[in-house]
Chain A
């Protein structure tokens, strides 16, 4: 199979070059210079916004000066979490118009990512945007165009890009060729709950697109606002696969539906997806809401299979380390000498080599050697959410592409969105050649 990923390398290089050149020609906001704190606003103070804020408060280079949520109590609670000097708003336009800022972090429902990010770029700000990047492929591309016009940083919150164990898997196993030829991948994020939230707010939110408070609180369950399991969960793992194997899909087949929870939702409560990559590689993915079983002890994992071995990566572990990874050498393949000395465990009757990211070599992550960010048992020195904000600060100050930039976010968003199209149409969706191409 020929490489038809649709990635326009020239356009990518043009994107990267534009940003890199900007480091020398752009006069940055005075406040974002080295030694001064970046003034940031949080747009969206719900569950994920709170997680981001809690972790980002540990980054001393960031000064949170505003919070914003259409639910006033949420904005106020987040501002109180920050403390004195942080103002609460209910309209993001007011934040952009009235607060002196260097950057915003966006953690709103998906359909608001693009309008807010574009407005922020037009206000001359850097943007950290939660994943999934945006509601449509065009939204993603509009965000990147706005970013390039503003010559600012766009970082997308695929936080596994900031996970030491995943970096170790990439550098120490995949790039080192220990898996041989990667031929297939399996991923899952299975839970056993309805994903529905009780309605805890009152008020009129029709101006923002929600006919009632229930639609606001449960925005993930409705197609008008979200791509459901594909955008809210799967996009993380699609990004991991793209990163690990260095390829993007060429087609997708999928099934799914509202098959169990008859509660008015419009996004599937289960998705079964197969992505096809160049060279015959397939990625089978399942996300469901009625059974959380996993032989690896984590509801969320990726299994990358090659001719010489299998790599398993887990996060959201029930244990204390939040993550774990193992390598299973294939029977009959030549083993590396170090494998005999490596720490091993038994998983399902198979000998599994425990991934130890303390020996990871190579470039630093968020300015820090990866070996210092995790211990041999997988305990993280810092949460991935903190590391992504630490890198965001570096990227903004030095005008460097972050590990998870806009183009990276576009890829996983587009893949998730096309998988949803495959579910809706029941057809195999070939990936357009220009799917990831940005034209100005």
Chain B
């Protein structure tokens, strides 16, 4: 039976525009619906084998490896043992952890895979949000921070400098799995596919037969009900959204969203949702979360420095969504609603 704890409702912010394609398969994975659309001028038996094996040989094993919910996963193994000394990890996972460290660096700590204890402390892991006490928060923050994770590239091993540190790839794992599926499909000669994880990260490979402009993808304020705020065409690029429209709680008249700033220990304020379009699902997944935490000024600065593209959604005084874009604009067709720019 699916355990509700496993359902990590990241932003459900991407609409896959309907269209004609040869094969589509959806499967529950990593606590959300993973989806692959595959097209191409190939034998149907081959296409079906390819799409099925992408799930069986990539998605399912990676879920087993990356899930911090699954006892016995490699991440759980690291979390249970790395404070005692270096734990050698699968090479690709080590590469991912190196990328996590890099992303922590370029986001000035706004993205951090050691955030798990804070998520629990605020009750978001059980969807029972609560404001922790100052003492509790201070204690938990001692166990959060990528600086406590030692990555030994020579040995391919990870160690923690103290007990209680844990890795939680919830903010990047889905994007990573999307990339690995894209890599797998490419290796088998696919050149036209859409790979999506939980409606929060999608990678568009090639150009679909019905459109020379790429795969048409719609964007909603992440997790919000209602209409799209716009759409774009994607080709050989990833789009990811993050937001707290759906996961939040209100206490004492104050609204607390589920995206926590690892640097302060408090939920991010201001920006309610963000999108990133970049070359990889891994990076897009992490950056969209980081943009929410960073807020407008720091997101603009990051986009300028690293050539990234961001879309931020906030609510104005009338509670209407306002958007701002940095870098090359993400939305091609923006709906005129409220203060959307």
Does A pair with B? Answer: yes
- Interface residues of chain A, those whose CB is within 8 Å of chain B, are 47, 50-51, 54, 57-58, 80-81, 83, 193-198, 200, 263, 296-298, 317-322, 324, 345, 347, 375, 377, 379-383, 386
Q: Is the CB of B72 within 8 A of A197?
A: no
Please measure, in the bound complex, the distance between the C-alpha atom of A200 and the C-alpha atom of B187, giving whole angstroms: 8
| Neighbouring B residues of A296 by C-beta, 8 Å | 1
- Picked from A196, A318, A377, the residue with its CB within 8 Å of the CB of B2 is A318
Q: Is the CB of A57 within 8 A of B88?
A: yes
- Picked from A193, A297, A386, the residue with its CB within 8 Å of the CB of B72 is A386
Residue of A nearest to B45 (CB): A263
| Neighbouring A residues of B9 by C-beta, 8 Å | none
| Neighbouring B residues of A54 by C-beta, 8 Å | 65, 74, 90
Please give the distance in Å from A389's CB to the nearest CB on chain B: 13
- Picked from A193, A318, A320, the residue with its CB within 8 Å of the CB of B5 is A320
Q: Contacts A58-B77, A322-B70 hold; do A198 and B5 have CB atoms under 8 A apart?
A: no
Q: Is the CB of B88 within 8 A of A83?
A: yes
The A contact surface, by secondary structure, is loop
List 13 interface pairs A-B (beta carbons < 8 Å), by A numbering.
A58-B77, A80-B91, A81-B91, A193-B52, A195-B52, A196-B52, A198-B46, A296-B1, A319-B1, A320-B6, A380-B71, A381-B72, A382-B72
- Picked from A50, A51, A196, A317, the residue with its CB within 8 Å of the CB of B45 is A196
Q: Is the CB of A198 within 8 A of B91?
A: no
Q: Is the CB of B1 within 8 A of A324?
A: yes
Please give the distance in Å from B245's CB to the nearest CB on chain A: 25
Please measure, in the bound complex, the distance between the C-alpha atom of A51 and the C-alpha atom of B6, giving whole angstroms: 22
- Picked from B70, B88, B188, the residue with its CB within 8 Å of the CB of A200 is B188
| Neighbouring A residues of B53 by C-beta, 8 Å | 196-198
Residue of A nearest to B55 (CB): A193
Q: What 0/1 readout, one digit per residue, does chain B (23-58) give for beta carbons within 8 Å of chain A?
A: 000001000000000000000011011101101110
Please measure, in the bound complex, the distance between the C-alpha atom of A164 and the C-alpha atom of B257, giving whole angstroms: 39
Q: Is there a chain A Cβ closer than 8 Å to B3's Cβ?
A: yes
Q: How large is the interface on B (under 10, 10 to 19, 20 to 34, 35 or more residues)?
A: 20 to 34
Q: Is there a chain A Cβ closer than 8 Å to B67's Cβ?
A: yes
Please give the distance in Å from A261's CB to the nearest CB on chain B: 8
Q: Is the CB of B72 within 8 A of A319?
A: no
Please measure, in the bound complex, the distance between the C-alpha atom of A386 and the C-alpha atom of B77, giving whole angstroms: 11
| Neighbouring B residues of A200 by C-beta, 8 Å | 187-188
Q: Is the CB of B1 within 8 A of A297?
A: yes
Q: Contacts A83-B156, A318-B28 hold; do A197 and B91 have CB atoms under 8 A apart?
A: no
Q: Is the CB of B49 within 8 A of A196?
A: yes
Please measure, in the bound complex, the distance between the C-alpha atom of A383 and the C-alpha atom of B65, giving whole angstroms: 12
Please give the distance in Å from A430's CB to the nearest CB on chain B: 37
- Picked from A194, A347, A386, the residue with its CB within 8 Å of the CB of B52 is A194
Please measure, in the bound complex, the distance between the C-alpha atom of A54 and the C-alpha atom of B76, giving whole angstroms: 13
| Neighbouring B residues of A321 by C-beta, 8 Å | 3, 70-71
Please measure, in the bound complex, the distance between the C-alpha atom of A80 and the C-alpha atom of B57, giving whole angstroms: 19
Q: Is the CB of B48 within 8 A of A196?
A: yes
| Neighbouring B residues of A51 by C-beta, 8 Å | 61
Of B53, B69, B74, B156, chain A has the most CB atoms within 10 Å of the CB of: B53
Please measure, in the bound complex, the distance between the C-alpha atom of A238 and the C-alpha atom of B72, giving whole angstroms: 25
Q: What 0/1 readout, one digit per residue, does chain B (98-136) give for beta carbons within 8 Å of chain A?
A: 000000000000000000000000000000000000000
